Amino acid sequence: MAKGKNTSNSVNKTKASKATNNENVSNQEIPSGAGYGSDNAKLDELSPNREESAGEFLSTNQGVRINDNQNSLKAGNRGPTLMEDFILREKITHFDHERIPERVVHARGSGAHGYFEVYESMAEYTKAAFLQDPSIKTPVFVRFSTVAGSRGSTDLARDVRGFAVKFYTQEGNYDLVGNNIPVFFIQDAIKFPDLIHAVKPEPHNEIPQAASAHDTFWDFISLMPESMHMIMWVMSDRAIPRSLRMMEGFGVHTFRFINERGKARFVKFHWKPLLGLHGVLWDEAQKLSGKDPDFHRRDLWEAIENGDFPQWELGVQIVEEKDEHSFDFDLLDPTKIIPEEIVPVQRIGKMTLNRNPDNFFAETEQVAFHTGNIVPGIDFTNDPLLQGRLFSYLDTQLLRLGGPNFHEIPINRPIAPVHNNQRDGFMRQTINRGQTSYEPNSLKGGCPFQAGVDMSGFNSFAERIDARKIRERSPSFLDHFSQATLFFNSQSEPEQNHIIRAFCFELGKVETPPIRERMLFLLAQVDKGLANRVAEGLGLAVPSKLEKPLNMSIPADVDPKRLQPKRVKPELTESPTLSMVENPNFPKEGIQTRKVAFLIADGFDDAAVAEMKQALMTAGAHPCTIAPRLGILTGENKEIANADFSFLTGASVLFDAVYVPGGEKSVAALKSEPEALNFVNEAYKHCKTIAATDAGVEFLEEAGLRAGSEKVERQTSDPGVIVSRSADLQTVATEFINAIAQHRHWGREAFLNSYGGSIARAFAAGAD
């Protein structure tokens, strides 16, 4: 059959036998095996909804085959289009309706399928079926997101990352809708619309996109001292992760585990990434937003396509009911953590993400997470933020997904059977059979039945409540600063410096002076040194006192003195697990999935490149070549290499480390390429590992990095600059790999800062 045209009677009428020349047809089948098919009940369940057009005819939505998809139906070939053209109208109408409202928050996101396995039965603590049997793989769908930006905004915004996991358990869907930061800005859900209105682009001019560095956000924050703990996290490198695969996740609120005997305990949830905990520098984040705004999305997608399946361990902190009041904070207050030193995190299982979605819209966009989706064995607490969330998600999804039947969208359907008397509504898919849609009934023998508790019927934890109905905050929620101080004190020196610079940037973008001053006053409540250094950056003094009471969110007829923040004497002054750099949970080992740039041109040292590539790949890293132009490059010994990027399409911010091999001709070409010189300088500034061998060392010198030079003591002692003129490649490779495993060489920042942040000046001074 020629060009897909159905011109002959002998044509196979049920299947197109040949694609058109223009069609880029993928013959990819849905694979079976680990993570697919029978190994993952949710993927099996999605199967009937998958559409593959390979080898198929083009048709209308009514299944009528289309003969001409190039021309609308017209009265003559130069005449008006005819109303009768049902093919044109159907196509344009569907196109016109392609968009749905984006999420009001967390609009920008990336998703993946995978599975969860518990290490051993958690029956002592919870009866949740998916936490009983280590042989069961529970399918999951995960969506990571930023909060403030629109759907098309940059991945690298300074922001909280959403970390939402839908577990498709045998007992129904369980959603753990968390973030990568373990606390939140506010204590009560009633402030959520205010918080979001403050952080979103300002309403008069819709500026700025996906950024908190503007007046309305800091106006709100400066009047909400309860946000100070969260603000410290958001100004830290946690808010600019290197990868979605390299960040922690947290359930934030305290939840409950309930066991078979009905015994309840409090529980906090954690996700611990097996690739460690890493961030980028703010300068890097800003550049990445231009070079590749999809950096995190691409990173997740490519990792899964490459078989580098990201993994997290699920951790729990369990607190006995009797210990509810034994902390110096309130377990129901979502602006507080339970430090891991006080209640250790037990790792109870592992999640693996091993499959990219088939279709972004159908899966990642239409997935609907809800804190209210819980299963027997897990229950809520009275955290007033959580309580508000329990209303919000279902409510917003009714609008976003267009009606009450969004649970029938394939990605949202549980693998557990659904039978109830809910009926009708827009886009109803289920064809409910029979006469009855009510309960009790006798006409259908009472079906569907209520399930006994012993049959996985959900019954809420019977918490005793004996209280007055009141709009009030518990005095146990009033310590707004102790944990903010704990967080700051627990950071390494470079991390503290990054926090200070983040405040200087964010508040530096604020145009209203009193807002800056109010923030300085609040920072002084956290740490005087921090406040002084931010004040210095802003060219201001820290105010000694504010005219207004500190806590402005107080009802008009309540005595403000009653609700002023109160500091408690905390049990800890430092918690190393709050640091990313010195976190004992994440020793700096291995370089799996790290991207290493090889800067080469024609005449490169092909033997060195081959050996270094092999060593890096054996360690699990991904080497890429960057050259003055794309295409095939020829080495000194006539070995060839394909340039993955040119200096136009690649940039140092896209990589974790740089290697410059020798080859006189190659190095000479690189020396005359300003972008190549800029590449290593920027990598140096961002504290990345740089290695050079043979003539490659001269290139570093040309760039101003006189590594290895006897004159420059400081650089030779930089553990992140590895140079060798003797070409003992194995030794260099081992040193290079160990240095990349450190992620960044933050000590370098102090060196650069002491020269006013200028690399050129630093090196010029060093050379003297």
Positions annotated as catalytic residues are 106, 179
Residue 193 or 457 with smaller CB distance to ligand HEM: 193
Measured distance CA(28)–CA(15) in Å, rounded: 17
100 binds ligand HEM (CB under 6 A): no
177 binds ligand HEM (CB under 6 A): yes
601 binds ligand HEM (CB under 6 A): no
Residue 304 or 409 with smaller CB distance to ligand HEM: 409
Q: How far is the CB of 423 from ligand HEM (least distance, A)?
A: 24
Among 178, 249, 565, 661, binds ligand HEM (CB under 6 A): 178
Which among 267-275, 396-404, 691-699, 755-763 is the span making contact with ligand HEM, rule CB under 6 A? 396-404
Contact 315, 345 (CB under 8 A): yes
The structure tokens listed for 277 are: 């905990």
Residues in the chain: 768
Contact 480, 226 (CB under 8 A): yes
169 binds ligand HEM (CB under 6 A): no
Residue 116 or 141 with smaller CB distance to ligand HEM: 141
Q: How far is the CB of 530 from ligand HEM (least distance, A)?
A: 25
SS3 sequence of 727-759:
CCHHHHHHHHHHHHHCCCCCHHHHHHHCCCCCH
164 binds ligand HEM (CB under 6 A): yes
143 binds ligand HEM (CB under 6 A): yes
Among 127, 238, 389, 518, binds ligand HEM (CB under 6 A): 389
Q: How far is the CB of 14 from ligand HEM (least distance, A)?
A: 40
Which among 63-71, 97-105, 500-508, 642-650 is the span making contact with ligand HEM, rule CB under 6 A? 97-105
Contact 581, 495 (CB under 8 A): yes
Residue 304 or 691 with smaller CB distance to ligand HEM: 304
Residue 178 or 766 with smaller CB distance to ligand HEM: 178
In this structure, what is the dihedral angle of CA atoms 4, 5, 11, 17, given to the nearest 10 degrees?
0
Among 369, 487, 521, 647, binds ligand HEM (CB under 6 A): 369
396 binds ligand HEM (CB under 6 A): yes
Measured distance CA(364)–CA(368) in Å, rounded: 9
Which among 184-192, 261-269, 279-287, 640-648 is the span making contact with ligand HEM, rule CB under 6 A? 184-192
First to last CA, the chain: 77
Q: How far is the CB of 368 from ligand HEM (least distance, A)?
A: 5
Among 145, 222, 491, 579, binds ligand HEM (CB under 6 A): 145
268 binds ligand HEM (CB under 6 A): no
In the chain, the amino acid numbered 18 is K
Counting other chains too, the contacts that 615-620 makes at CB distance below 8 Å and 24 or more residues apart are: 615/729, 615/730, 615/733, 615/734, 615/736, 615/737, 616/591, 616/733, 616/736, 616/737, 619/590, 619/591, 619/592, 619/737, 620/308, 620/590, 620/591, 620/592, 620/593, 620/594
376 binds ligand HEM (CB under 6 A): no
- Segment 398-437, which members bind ligand HEM (CB under 6 A)? 400
393 binds ligand HEM (CB under 6 A): yes
In the chain, the amino acid numbered 402 is G
Residue 128 or 252 with smaller CB distance to ligand HEM: 252
Among 16, 210, 281, 385, binds ligand HEM (CB under 6 A): 385
104 binds ligand HEM (CB under 6 A): yes
Q: How many CB atoms lie within 10 A of CB 52?
A: 13
Q: How far is the CB of 392 from ligand HEM (least distance, A)?
A: 4
Residue 162 or 276 with smaller CB distance to ligand HEM: 162
Tokens 């309840």 locate to 264
3-state SS, residue 143: strand
Among 20, 150, 259, 392, binds ligand HEM (CB under 6 A): 392
Among 227, 397, 483, 496, binds ligand HEM (CB under 6 A): 397
Residue 350 or 400 with smaller CB distance to ligand HEM: 400
Q: How many CB atoms lie within 10 A of CB 106?
A: 23
Measured distance CA(225)–CA(524) in Å, rounded: 12
Residue 154 or 180 with smaller CB distance to ligand HEM: 180
Measured distance CA(41)–CA(723) in Å, rounded: 52
- Segment 602-661, which members bind ligand HEM (CB under 6 A)? none
- Segment 185-214, which members bind ligand HEM (CB under 6 A)? 189, 192
Measured distance CA(471)–CA(490) in Å, rounded: 35
Q: What is the DSSP string of 437-449?
A: -SSS-STTTTPSP
Q: How many CB atoms lie within 10 A of CB 217?
A: 23
Cis upstream peptide for 241 (omega within 30°): no
184 binds ligand HEM (CB under 6 A): yes
**363: which residues sit within 8 A by CB, 6+ positions away?**
111, 141, 357, 410, 411
Q: How many CB atoms lie within 10 A of CB 12?
A: 10
Residue 109 or 377 with smaller CB distance to ligand HEM: 109
Which among 342-350, 392-400, 585-593, 726-734 is the span making contact with ligand HEM, rule CB under 6 A? 392-400
Among 42, 106, 137, 480, binds ligand HEM (CB under 6 A): 106
Phi-psi region of 743 (alpha: psi -120 to 50; beta: other; left: phi over 0): left
Sheet holding 657-660, edge to edge: 645-646, 622-627, 595-599, 657-660, 689-693, 721-724
Q: How far is the CB of 332 from ligand HEM (least distance, A)?
A: 13
- Contact letters (x/-) for ligand HEM, 224-253, by CB under 6 A? ----------------------------x-
Among 179, 216, 381, 490, binds ligand HEM (CB under 6 A): 179
Q: How far is the CB of 268 from ligand HEM (least distance, A)?
A: 11
Measured distance CA(764)–CA(87) in Å, rounded: 70
Measured distance CA(670)–CA(676) in Å, rounded: 6
167 binds ligand HEM (CB under 6 A): no
Among 103, 158, 270, 287, binds ligand HEM (CB under 6 A): 103
Give the Cα-Cα-Cα angle 667, 668, 673 (nearest 5 degrees).
Answer: 90
In the bound state, the residue with its beta carbon closest to ligand HEM is 162
Q: How far is the CB of 552 from ligand HEM (least distance, A)?
A: 19
Q: How far is the CB of 514 from ligand HEM (least distance, A)?
A: 28
Q: How far is the CB of 104 from ligand HEM (least distance, A)?
A: 5
Give whole-number Cα distances, 557 to 510, 554, 605, in Å.
31, 8, 77
Residue 149 or 162 with smaller CB distance to ligand HEM: 162
Residue 411 or 733 with smaller CB distance to ligand HEM: 411
Q: What is the DSSP string of 544-610?
A: S--SS-S-----TTS-GGGGS------S-S--GGG-SSS-TTS-----TT-EEEEE--TT--HHHHH
Q: How far is the CB of 379 from ligand HEM (least distance, A)?
A: 17
Contact 733, 615 (CB under 8 A): yes
Q: How many residues bind ligand HEM (CB under 6 A)?
A: 27
Residue 314 or 705 with smaller CB distance to ligand HEM: 314
Residues lying near ligand HEM in the complex (CB under 6 A) are found at 103-106, 109, 143, 145, 162, 164, 177-179, 184, 189, 192, 252, 367-369, 385, 388-389, 392-393, 396-397, 400
